Structure 1
């Protein structure tokens, strides 16, 4: 479906420039659509000082900040004796009532691996040798000391991101559509699983009500009636989904039993509506000119959420839903949910025929208003695509992926781009700053998650697989 780009741009506010993303003028309904509580505006988000190179060659940080290595694939060990698995990804942190934190962490392993997640009895979904993904649980001191790591779920595949639940567990997402092949995979994959961090509870069963597709991340709303899910896929580009509970039902600690039923509740895909009431076919039709402008959203039911014969995203025509290249990180707040589109590169099939290349988008969907806003935008930037030659450029940002919200309401983004890999601090509608840079290699950052007390930011370097605990004067810049 072709869309007149001018009809999308018509009436938009003045666009932001560069990577500073200066806030635009007044936007209708912004007060209602803003994710920050009405009693507290967005944080000022002071500029972070320039990053200082690490003499150990691992992590560049601003002055006054330091890091500790919590786990390292193949070097630290599990309580069961095996080495820490590789390919760290989505992670959540929980307080456990002591001076320690509990991390639940994905391992995005897509096949057999010498550093796969060990298939510990009671934690296994698929016992095939090609299902080496899963999650580990780590007990961490406030100074980053590792007090033990163990398996939370195993026998899954390509565990990318996910989301924490209000009752203290982790929903891990398989970013794959692979089905059983009778040899290396004995079961179908592409599901969400719930993971417990107590070292005792494990229910390795797929939550089929949430669909079978290349899941990236999810968030549960404040009323425990909806789950919002992102899809990282192409050919065609993926969608953003909403699961709705049956009338009168509230999600809780035993919901995993109900969510095993593929027909429980309703799963729908998002359609962002243009001024004429028709769906915008792809987010790549929008630019920084739409920054902070609310768009109405409708939701279109998924015909076959288990994708028995046709992939979920392929069950829609191009005019039914709004697609996007690499729907990635998702994070829920009291008022709504953030979702990231990582990039849409020029000269590729990522961009619709008359779409607009970009280096990343962050959206906010407001529960009450049922609108979505573009709150951070990285314009197409040739310098950001120079690869290793741009390693030390702490201003050319591209490829935002995982997202989390700090205790003060600002955003933390992990880059998975072509240039330097950064951890970024961003204010919705405002500036973006580098707060860490990978000096070890070209690997992406994954799984940023802030402790509720605001003292520690945990983040991973995916390859070779390192979990870092970053401490410092966070409140001075984010509070």
Structure 2
């Protein structure tokens, strides 16, 4: 068994002390900056987060002292709606306000054809009866007790992540390119669907085709002009692209994306793959956007298409995507030369500022020999009300939610203790769907397997 850098970290106790980050955190959060950023100085961090993680006697979730969790729901439990068991593989998620201080969560289920619990087929909400994925909605009260839980959309496939809209709906993304006839599907897949979290039955189970057909991961919307940014988690070369969608109806509103628009892919001049950029704080002051020839990928997957001789920029494992302030942040979970990437890294966080057209490598996860740097494989991300980021880990070994402070330190916020392997060969499911309640007092997060949604509360104001 290969010893991962995460295991080295765990063995040294570094997780309790805070971990210095390599990067330009000032660019991440939009503060004024001079220069292009620098590597953090080694030594004791000025800000160690909320302190070391305390082992959970119930073996579910380790948290810093003073924090506590509630299990909101788990896969296989009966849905409150009576529609069937709660589906498997909890992934991307967003939190929306509800009446009386309640919160509505829209939660993806990244189900493939072998899922133990499919998203139940519900009349009027099902796209393809052979698709096992989809979303559920769960409403919890102020004490995190479930008041409602039901299917929000069904018949989709491999619903990985997505993103909330400024008009309080959820865009769920299919991480597949399967067409009708593949894996038993009766319709083409690889699309984005819009889910209405409030009014039951308002969701239209038809794809937003103009946003493209590819292995979608996550989306983020610029609330100022409605531009949709999209990541693609392609599993083979050429790897995925970073996209923007310019809507014909920029005013927004539920269903507005059905009006269509133009899909474009990022081109960084002279950079064929983002993994080649290894210096945190590197800034590209001018990037280009190239129109996608065939967004529906009728014959050729988008990343293989001819962009008129203008080479677009690829990256392995483009995953999390989140809007904050005046920029969009997105992650590349890792790059491996053994899998076809031109360079190796343990994960990147990028920011793109539409107003200036500036692209910045904010954080580089690694190198693998430096135990002071963060974990590996950053996936879903969100900004935290107290400042900074929350990042879900999706790698080998132990799985964590990491926080990134404004003081350039990375700290452990949570560790999944649910062992889905054995005592001799332990395995832990990834974290996904980290999001905060509208009042900022509760962090909701999923464990992918076994599908579990947690509500975490505590002294957030300490940072």
Task: Give the TM bin, normalised by the shorter chain.
Answer: 0.7 to 0.9
Partners of 1:184 and 1:23 lie apart in 2 by 45
Which residue does the alignment assign to 1:305? 295
Deviations 1:434-478, CA, capped at 9 Å, x for gaps: 11001112110010001121110000110010000011011212x
Which residue does the alignment assign to 1:474? 460
Q: Does 1:240 align with 2:234?
A: no
Which residue does the alignment assign to 1:421? 399
1:114-129 correspondence runs (5 A): 114-128=116-130
Query: Taking structure 1 as reference, are residues 431 and 294 closer, same or farther at Cα in structure 2, changes over 3 Å only?
Result: farther
Deviations 1:5-57, CA, capped at 9 Å, x for gaps: xxxxxxxxxxxxx95125669xxxx8xx664377xxxxx96522010110011
Q: Does 1:201 align with 2:202?
A: yes
CA-atom RMSD in angstroms = 2.4
Q: Is the 8 A contact 1:376 1:428 kept in 2?
A: no
Query: Taking structure 1 as reference, are residues 22 and 114 closer, same or farther at Cα in structure 2, changes over 3 Å only?
Result: closer
Query: Taking structure 1 as reference, are residues 214 and 64 closer, same or farther at Cα in structure 2, changes over 3 Å only?
Result: same
Which residue does the alignment assign to 1:110? 112
Of 343, 349, 358, the match for 1:362: 349
Query: Taking structure 1 as reference, are residues 225 and 183 closer, same or farther at Cα in structure 2, changes over 3 Å only?
Result: closer
Which residue does the alignment assign to 2:30? 36
Query: Taking structure 1 as reference, are residues 163 and 282 closer, same or farther at Cα in structure 2, changes over 3 Å only?
Result: same
Which residue does the alignment assign to 1:390? none
1:332-343 correspondence runs (5 A): 332-343=323-334
Q: Is the 8 A contact 1:383 1:396 kept in 2?
A: no
Q: CA deviation at 1:332?
A: 0.7
Deviations 1:72-124, CA, capped at 9 Å, x for gaps: 00124341241111100000000113221000000000125441000110100
Q: Is the 8 A contact 1:45 1:410 kept in 2?
A: no
Partners of 2:294 and 2:29 lie apart in 1 by 32
Q: Is the 8 A contact 2:59 2:418 kept in 1?
A: yes
Which residue does the alignment assign to 1:374? 361
Query: Taking structure 1 as reference, are residues 241 and 45 closer, same or farther at Cα in structure 2, changes over 3 Å only?
Result: farther
Which residue does the alignment assign to 2:73? 71
Partners of 1:249 and 1:417 lie apart in 2 by 37
Which residue does the alignment assign to 1:452? 438
Partners of 2:91 and 2:183 lie apart in 1 by 26
Partners of 1:241 and 1:368 lie apart in 2 by 16
Q: How many equivalent pairs are there?
A: 422
Query: Taking structure 1 as reference, are residues 104 and 132 closer, same or farther at Cα in structure 2, changes over 3 Å only?
Result: same
Moved more, 107-116 or 307-316: 107-116
Q: Is the 8 A contact 2:194 2:255 kept in 1?
A: no
Which residue does the alignment assign to 1:6? none
Q: CA deviation at 1:200?
A: 3.5
* TM-score, reference length from structure 1: 0.83
Query: Taking structure 1 as reference, are residues 190 and 45 closer, same or farther at Cα in structure 2, changes over 3 Å only?
Result: farther
SS at match of 2:347: strand
Q: CA deviation at 1:265?
A: 1.4
Q: Does 1:443 align with 2:435?
A: no
Query: Taking structure 1 as reference, are residues 302 and 210 closer, same or farther at Cα in structure 2, changes over 3 Å only?
Result: same
Which residue does the alignment assign to 1:261? none
Which residue does the alignment assign to 1:268? 264
Query: Taking structure 1 as reference, are residues 376 and 165 closer, same or farther at Cα in structure 2, changes over 3 Å only?
Result: same
Partners of 2:340 and 2:367 lie apart in 1 by 13
Q: CA deviation at 1:402?
A: 0.3
Q: CA deviation at 1:383?
A: 8.5
SS at match of 1:86: coil
1:23-422 correspondence runs (5 A): 35-36=29-30, 47-111=49-113, 113-128=115-130, 131-181=131-181, 184-198=184-198, 199-233=200-234, 234-246=236-248, 249-258=250-259, 264-272=260-268, 278-287=269-278, 289-291=279-281, 293-316=283-306, 320-345=311-336, 347-352=337-342, 355=343, 357-381=344-368, 397-422=375-400
Partners of 2:146 and 2:54 lie apart in 1 by 26
Structure 1, unmatched stretches of 5+, are 1-17, 39-43, 259-263, 273-277, 385-393
Q: Is the 8 A contact 2:110 2:158 kept in 1?
A: yes
* TM-score, reference length from structure 2: 0.86
